[in-house]
Structure formats: C-alpha cells, structure tokens
Amino acid sequence: MRMAPSPSGPLHIGHSRMAILNDEYVKRYGGDLILRIEDTNPANVDIDAYDMIPEDLEWLNVNVTKKVIQSSRMDFYYKEARKMISKGFMYVIEEDQAEFHDLKLKKIPVKCRDYDPEIHLERFDKLLEGKYEEGKAAVVMKTDINHPNPSIRDWIAFRLNYKKHPLTGDKYILYPTMNFSVSVDDHYLGLTHVIRGIDHLVNTEKQEYVFKCNGWKIPEYFHYGFINIPGTVLKTTLMKEGIKSGKYSGWNDIRLGTIMALKKRGYRPETFRKYWVASGMNKNNATFSWEIFNSMNREIIDYNTMRYFFVPEPEKFNIKNSKKLKSHAMFHPQRPDLGCREYDLDKNSNIYFPEKEFEKLKDSETIRLKDLCAVTKHANSLDYVSEDIDKKVKIIQWVPENSGSIKIYYPDGSVESGMIEPLASNKKEVVQLERFGYVNLNGSEGYFLHK
C-alpha cells in the first residue's frame, strides 16, 4: 500500500481518510505502507510540508514503513523514460503546448509520433540539456489517439520547468508528470493495492498504459468517493493566504480543518480512524458528518474527562447565605472514587452566575446552584433558601468569587468570555465544562471541542 500526498501543506481531515484507509488495510492484511511525497511540480511545494506530513501521520498512528521522495529519484525516472522511448512507447514532441492540445482534440497524431526512437532519444537529451523553452517540448506517452477521452490520448509524461525546486534547486529542469512517476514508482516499489479517491479514476486508466506496454502486473485499485466537509477551511491555498495575511494564526488555527488544528481542539486520533473505517470505501459522494464524528470522539474521551464549572457572561450575586456552605461537585459522575471539587463559602458570599440563565428565570423562581444550595430569584438578586430542597427545579452551574477568567474560542471564529472555577484554572487538558460542552483548556484560554 502507499499514500502519495503532494507536499503543498500539512495534512487535513480529508487526507486523513486516505492515510487511515491505507494504514488500516496494512494493519489487517500485512504488507508495507509507503509514504511517497510527490514533489515533481516545483510550483506546488512547501518546504515545511516534508516535515509536517510525517508528523501528522505519526499523530494519527499511521504506521509508515517506508518513505520515498520523488524529487530524489529523478535519474531513475530518466532511465525508465529512455528505456520506454527506445522501445517506441514514448516520444518527444517539439510542438508547443497549445498546438499539441489542439491536435489531440482533433485526434490528429503529431508528425513525429512514429519517427525512429533514435531521434526521440536525441531530443530527450536535448530536453535534459535545456535546449528547449518551457512549454515548447515534452515527452509524451503513446496511448490511443482515438480514445474518447481527450485527456487520455497521448498524455504528457515529462515537461520542462525552469523554476527552482525547494529541494533540488536548479539541478533538474525536466520533471515527470504525476501519471508517469506514479506508474513506474507503483511498479518498482512493488505496489499490490492502491486506495485513492475517485478523482484518480481517469489517472488509473492513463497509468494502465504504462503498465501494459511494459508488461507489468497492474495493482488492484480501489477508489472511494468524494467527501464534502462542511464548515471548515481545507483549501491549502486559502489557508496559506490566510496565514500570510494574518487572518489565521498558523496551520493549527482552530478555524482550519488541518490535522494540527483538530488536534489542538482536543480530538483524539482514534476518532479519525473510527470514523473513516465506518465510512468504508464506497464510491458514493458523501457529506462529512461532524455530528457523528463528534459523537465518536465524545464516546472515546468521556470516561477520562473531568468536569468543571464555567460561567459564560458572568454576573456577580451575593446570595445572602445565613450559614457557611461547602460545595461538593464530583470530578466525574461515573467515578465517585475521584472525589469532589470542594469550595467553602462564608456567610454572605458572592458567586458568579450566567447572566443569560438569570434572565430566563421567572421572578421568585427557585433553582439549585449545582452541588451547593437552592436559591430564589427576587428582582435583581438570587437569595439563599436552603442547602437542600425536595422539589425538582432547574439546576445551574456557578463559580465562586475567586475564580479566574477565561476566553473560549470556537472554530467558527467567535469567542466567549467567562469565569472558570479555581480548580480548573491553568489546566492544559480536555475537560467537560458542565452544561456547556467539551473544551480543550490551555491556561487562560480554551478551544471549544464539541457538545
């Protein structure tokens, strides 16, 4: 198996499907998982991606057994090209880009298509020596000039690019196109199975020509459908621009759909795996469901996630308690062994209470401050009633006066300010803020994970 990202940026949630599906296959049936970085287009390379991609994969627990960087295999591609040219499977055109494209649309072969391979080999050397301008000559794979799909008719296998490559500099100017390098790599790397998106369906057909003319065994291909991931930014170019302009703080800005951003929000790598395995490999186009993804994540983290109180838009009240009070809220309702969060309140104590909840209360309505006492709303105050109450009433969270303030950032860019109970301040972990949601705390800020 293999996965073959182009190093244009870090991996995002869409890539994680490709990585996990391949990895899962290897985990179940054995074999190698090759990470092949496809950097044969200098214009599409971000030098940082060479490090970010393996880091993302490691975090996802994808076990790469072998790593290949295409730009370090250029001489090998040239060697293969020479072989194929000399056998008449490929040829070199001297037509310019638009001309060649035009001829193909009309199903007209170029004059030199069937020239002696020697001539094409000479032209190939001229290509390497830089005797042609960009776009004025190219190496072409001979397929079927009458093929109904024009892009399959004699596709380009190598083209010139004089741009400096981030890794190899100006050492090479003739780069293989993806369809060529993928074919020979898939063969020589011994690929038996390929899992990729349906966007490669046509490429598979193109690549089969290379396999067939060389008499190579064609791997088993599986294509999975497109997934539309709503509500997040995934386009590398958009992310890059946003980072550059300062709109985003970096690749891990929680508004982005990168693996890094999702990690920062507190998602678990197991969630990705579970989700993509459950999605399977069918060719349907589907919509990514955050609901299901979140539900899976919740199931994984819930047992180990501590509970704390957070009060959004806090308002201070003196509850006029006539006696000292002690709160006792459990760290986790299913795990009494972990004990309680306890706070002592003197007589006439101040607490913070969510303003919105207060507004919703009717006058003289009695509620319970969770794990503390019952209070009644009177005009603009909350007044102590008793420590316990028989009636079933609303239960709302609160925090003591010595709480810290915190800002919670949402993936949609909004921010919520409030107070968090003292025991949770300066924590750096995913917690459940009761009646609010799961949040990844990071000192005086937090990143909203999900409900």
Partner RNA sequence: GCUCCGGUGGUGUAGUACGGCCAAGCAUUCCGGCCUUUCGAGCCGAUGACUCGGGUUCAAAUCCCGGCCGGAGCACCA
Q: Where in 213-272 is the site for RNA (CB under 7 A)?
A: 225-226
Q: What is the smallest separation between the CB atom of 246 and RNA, expressed in angstroms? A: 27
Phi, psi at 57, each rounded to 5°:
-65, -40
Question: Quick check: 78 binds RNA (CB under 7 A)?
Answer: no
Interface residues for RNA in 387-416 (CB under 7 A)? 388, 395, 397
Q: Which is nearer to RNA, 130 or 280 (CB)?
A: 280
Window of 19-27, 106-114, 241-249, 289-297 that interacts with RNA by CB under 7 A = 289-297
Per-residue burial over 276-302, b = 16 or more CB atoms within 10 Å of its CB, e = otherwise: beebeeeeeeeebeeeebbebbbebbe
Binding mask 420-439 for RNA (x = CB under 7 A): ------------x-xx-x--
Round to whole Å and give the CA distance between 423 and 404: 10
The CB-of-148 to RNA minimum distance in angstroms stands at 4
| 203 part of the interface to RNA, by CB under 7 A | yes
Helix (H) or strand (E) holding 173: none
Distance separating alpha carbons of residues 286 and 277, to the nearest angstrom: 14
The nearest distance, CB 190 to RNA, in angstroms, is 20
Question: Smallest distance, Å, CB 257 to RNA?
Answer: 16
Q: How far is the CB of 11 from RNA (least distance, A)?
A: 12
What strand order describes the sheet that includes 66-69?
2-3, 34-37, 66-69
**Strand 373-378 vs strand 381-386: parallel, antiparallel, or unpaired?**
antiparallel
Rounded to whole angstroms, what are the CA distances from 203 to 101, 150, 181, 182, 319?
A: 18, 13, 12, 10, 70
421/306 Cα distance (integer angstroms):
13
Q: Report the site for RNA in 139-178 (rule: CB under 7 A).
A: 148-151, 155-156, 159-160, 175, 177-178
Q: Give yes or no for residue 291 binding RNA (CB under 7 A).
A: yes
Indicate whether 53 belongs to the interface with RNA (CB under 7 A). Answer: no
For the segment 329-368, give every residue that binds RNA (CB under 7 A).
Answer: 332-334, 368
Piece in contact with RNA (CB under 7 A), picked from 40-48, 115-123, 212-220, 347-355: 40-48
Gap between the Cα atoms of 367 and 383, Å rounded? 10
How many CA within 13 A on the CB side of residue 358?
21
3-state SS record for 396-436: ECCEECCCEEEEEECCCCCEEEEEECHHHCCCCCEEEECCC
- In the list 285, 364, 381, 405, the residue contacting RNA (rule: CB under 7 A) is 285
| Rounded Cα distance, 53 and 48, in Å | 9
Q: At what angle do helices 49-59 and 13-29 cross, to 10 degrees?
A: 60
Closest CA to 446 of 249, 250, 263, 265: 265
Interface residue with RNA among 5, 10, 257, 314 (CB under 7 A) is 5
CB-nearer residue toward RNA: 47 or 292: 292
CB of 87 to RNA, least distance (A): 21
Restricted to residues 85-144, the positions that interact with RNA (CB under 7 A) are: 93, 95-97, 100-101, 134-138
Q: 209 by DSSP, 3-state: which?
A: helix
21 binds RNA per the rule CB under 7 A? no
Nearer to RNA, 235 or 249 (CB): 235
Size of the site for RNA (CB under 7 A): 71
Q: Take residue 312 and report the two structure tokens written for it.
A: 């959004």
CB of 44 to RNA, least distance (A): 5
CB of 97 to RNA, least distance (A): 3
Specify the stretch interacting with RNA by CB under 7 A; choose among 82-90, 193-201, 236-244, 337-345.
193-201
Output 151 or 247, the one with its CB closest to RNA: 151
Angle made by CA atoms 275, 433, 372, in degrees to the nearest 5: 145
Among 3, 4, 60, 84, indicate the residue that binds RNA (CB under 7 A). Answer: 4
